[in-house]
Structures are given as C-alpha cells and as structure tokens.
C-alpha cells in the first residue's frame, strides 16, 4: 500500500465546502472497524456516507457498510448492493443521500484513488473519508481525514486525479448529543443520580474547556507582547474579532425575552412550591384522619379537613372525636 507518490495535493484548492460530521457517522465507522478486526475479514473496509447537502453546507449524518467485488486483482464497488442499500435508507430517511464513501488507512492509496474514480461515476463529487485506525497516544484530533477530488486543470490534469483535503467540524442534533453523552457515561438505569448535579457537571465541563482554550490564547497574546513569541497577524486578528463580538447578544429585545423567560421559570417554581405544600397538607390531613377517624357513615369526610362541615351535623362531630 505504501506508494512513493502522494495522492494528496498539499496546496490544492478545495471547493470550499463547509463539512460537518455527526457523531453517529463516526461511531458507525468505529463499529465497522471493530467488527472487521474481530471477525478477521480479509476484504478492505469500505462504506457509504449518508448525509445532506444544501448549497455549500454538507453534513455527514450516518453511514452504511459497502461490499466490494474482487475483480482479478482490482476490487470494485458492488454497484447493485450500493443501489439496494441506498433505496432501503431512502425509504426510512428520505432526506439523506449518499454523498461519499469511507475507508481506512493513513494516506490515500492507489486503490483509494481508483475507488474514488468509480464512486464519482455513481455520485456527483463524492467525499472520501479516511479513518486512521492507528490513533497515537495523546492525540487531540479525531483520526479522520476528509478529501474530495482535486479539480484537475492544466499540469495537474496530466499528473492524474488527486485528492484535496477538506476541513471539517463536528455537529450534533440535540437528541444525538444526549445519546452520545449517555453512551459516554455508560449505564442508563441509574435513577438515583441527581438531575441537577448531572446538568451542572455538564455545564462545568464545557466551561472548563472554554476556559482552557481562552487561557491558551491569553498566554499567546502575553508571549507576543513580551516579544517571546512570533506575532501571527492572522491569529491576532481573529482574537481581536472575537473580542469585538462580545457581548454576544446585547439587544434590548433579547434582554426582555430572557427576563420574561426567567420570570416564567420562577412562576413555575412558585407553583411547584404551592403544589408541594398542598401535598404536605393533604398528607397531614390523611394522617390526622388515621389518628382521629370519623364514623364510617359520615360521607362528608372528616370534620375539620373539609372546612368545618361537621358543625352542621353534631352527631358526626361527636363520632369524629372519639379517641382510640
């Protein structure tokens, strides 16, 4: 697989797609890799990327495994299988299309290039995701690289098709984020964990991440101002732009909305307190009723507990006060 020529254009111009990966897609590939490792299959790991594309925004939402047909020594995608699977997923997730494919490895190989060419015939400008199973200890980035085919013009066209790297981000839907959190912490059944604590821990962890990143920026700015680090104007401009955007949202409308929201929640809280008091009072009357039972003929409930109805019926009052 180690080819002397790199298939990646280092300074190639990408089409400027904004690319977002969903955790489900990433974990699905992980699952495929693990399954492949443990079942010891001999074929190359390949699969299709399912997602959406709106203008220049691409989201990779899900994936499914693909089959290869071994042709003498050149494996190709099983097109019939791809079509069938595509159709199946279309039925349940009509908004998702096949937008690319994935495989494993550190850098694109000859075979990847060939498969990309074949895939280009099936899907317009496919994205190629390469998963590097060899995750170095202490890695900070996901072991994934995304490519698209370079627009071959002039000299490059002669050199043959090449890959261009694409930047990507990670995006989650709300339910997806919660499910990922759940998977991360394991058990679901534990109901004793305080919801408030759980929610605060999540917030704290996110704020800690934010804080760590701000600290990096701050120490960089300090180092530059002390002449210890080289000033990268691009980074400094970005930091400046970032600061200029604070406060993020100071429109009066937003403030009013937030205050309304706050008041609503506090009203709900008051109602909750009232309900709890009502419940406590009801429990108390119940207990009182056990200690001082009324006669069972009294259909009006215990005197006192029902706003003094017992006074109209002296016999009930007398009966109700009998001590045990």
Q: What is d(CA 282, CA 294) in angstroms, rounded to the nearest whole number? A: 17
Applying CB under 8 A, among 198, 288, 312, 321 the residue interacting with another protein is 198
Query: Nearest approach, Cβ of 86 to another protein (angstroms)?
Result: 11
User: For residues 30 and 152, which CB has a smaller minimum distance to another protein in the complex?
Assistant: 30
- Applying the rule CB under 8 A, the residues between 163 and 192 that interact with another protein are 169-190
3-state secondary structure of 19: strand
User: For residues 159 and 258, which CB has a smaller minimum distance to another protein in the complex?
Assistant: 258
- What sign does the dihedral 193-195-199-200 (CA atoms) show? negative
Closest CA to 60 of 176, 162, 139, 164: 176
Query: Nearest approach, Cβ of 254 to another protein (angstroms)?
Result: 8
Kindly state whether residue 18 participates in binding another protein, applying the rule CB under 8 A. no
Applying CB under 8 A, among 5, 72, 241, 253 the residue interacting with another protein is 241
Query: Nearest approach, Cβ of 10 to another protein (angstroms)?
Result: 18
Helix (H) or strand (E) holding 65: strand 57-65
Prior bond of 38 cis (ω within 30°): no
Residue count, binding to another protein (CB under 8 A)? 123
Q: What is d(CA 295, CA 317) in angstroms, rounded to the nearest whole number? A: 9
CA dihedral 183, 93, 62, 16 (to 10 degrees): -130
Q: What is the DSSP letter of 51?
A: E
User: For residues 201 and 318, which CB has a smaller minimum distance to another protein in the complex?
Assistant: 201
Applying CB under 8 A, among 242, 308, 311, 321 the residue interacting with another protein is 242
Q: What is d(CA 18, CA 171) in angstroms, rounded to the nearest whole number? A: 11
Task: Judge whether 111 and 130 are in contact, CB under 8 Å.
Answer: no
Applying CB under 8 A, among 228, 237, 321, 322 the residue interacting with another protein is 237
User: For residues 117 and 215, which CB has a smaller minimum distance to another protein in the complex?
Assistant: 215
Query: Nearest approach, Cβ of 314 to another protein (angstroms)?
Result: 20
- Applying the rule CB under 8 A, the residues between 247 and 306 that interact with another protein are 247-250, 258, 261-262, 265, 268-269, 271-272, 275-276, 278-279, 282-283, 286, 289-290, 293-294, 296, 299, 301-302, 305-306
User: For residues 159 and 210, which CB has a smaller minimum distance to another protein in the complex?
Assistant: 210
The DSSP-derived string for 220-251 is HHHHHHTTSS---HHHHHHHHHHHHT-SS---
- Applying the rule CB under 8 A, the residues between 122 and 141 that interact with another protein are 133, 135, 139-141
- Applying the rule CB under 8 A, the residues between 55 and 114 that interact with another protein are 62, 65-67, 81, 84-85, 88, 91-93
The encoded tokens of residue 254 equal 């937003």
Task: Judge whether 143 and 37 are in contact, CB under 8 Å.
Answer: no
Q: In what order do the strands lie in the sheet with 144-149?
A: 8-9, 163-166, 144-149, 127-131, 97-104, 46-54, 57-65, 18-21, 168-170
Query: Nearest approach, Cβ of 1 to another protein (angstroms)?
Result: 21
User: For residues 3 and 167, which CB has a smaller minimum distance to another protein in the complex?
Assistant: 167
Of the candidate spans 7-15, 121-129, 151-159, 214-222, the one that interacts with another protein by CB under 8 A turns out to be 214-222
Query: Nearest approach, Cβ of 159 to another protein (angstroms)?
Result: 31
Applying CB under 8 A, among 15, 57, 76, 225 the residue interacting with another protein is 225
Q: Give whole-number Cα distances, 166 to 3, 11, 26, in Å.
A: 22, 11, 16
Applying CB under 8 A, among 200, 312, 315, 321 the residue interacting with another protein is 200
């Amino acid at each position: 697989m180690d080819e002397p020529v790199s298939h990646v254009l280092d300074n190639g111009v990408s089409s400027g797609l904004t690319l977002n990966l969903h955790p489900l897609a990433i974990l699905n590939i992980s699952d495929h890799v693990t399954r492949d490792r443990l079942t010891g299959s001999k074929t190359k790991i390949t699969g299709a990327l399912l997602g959406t594309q709106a203008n220049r925004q691409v989201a990779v939402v899900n994936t499914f495994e693909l089959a290869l047909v071994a042709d003498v020594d050149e494996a190709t995608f099983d097109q019939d299988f791809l079509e069938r699977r595509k159709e199946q997923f279309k039925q349940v997730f009509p908004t998702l299309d096949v937008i690319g494919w994935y495989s494993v490895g550190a850098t694109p190989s000859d075979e990847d290039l060939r498969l990309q060419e074949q895939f280009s015939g099936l899907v317009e400008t496919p994205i190629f995701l390469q998963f590097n199973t060899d995750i170095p200890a202490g890695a900070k980035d996901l072991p994934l690289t995304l490519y698209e085919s370079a627009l071959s013009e002039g000299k490059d066209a002669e050199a043959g098709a090449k890959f261009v790297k694409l930047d990507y981000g990670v995006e989650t839907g709300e339910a997806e984020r919660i499910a990922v959190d759940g998977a991360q912490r394991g058990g679901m059944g534990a109901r004793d964990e305080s919801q408030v604590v759980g929610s605060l821990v999540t917030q704290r962890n996110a704020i800690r991440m934010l804080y760590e990143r701000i600290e990096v920026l701050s120490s960089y700015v300090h180092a530059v101002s002390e002449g210890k680090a080289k000033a990268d104007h691009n980074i400094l401009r970005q930091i400046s732009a970032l600061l200029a955007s604070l406060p993020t949202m100071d429109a009066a409308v937003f403030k009013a909305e937030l205050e309304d929201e706050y008041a609503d929640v506090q009203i709900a809280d008051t109602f909750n307190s009232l309900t709890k008091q009502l419940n406590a009072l009801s429990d108390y009357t119940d207990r009182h009723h056990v200690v001082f039972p009324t006669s069972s003929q009294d259909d009006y409930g215990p005197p006192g507990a029902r706003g003094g109805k017992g006074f109209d019926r002296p016999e009930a009052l007398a009966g109700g006060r009998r001590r045990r």
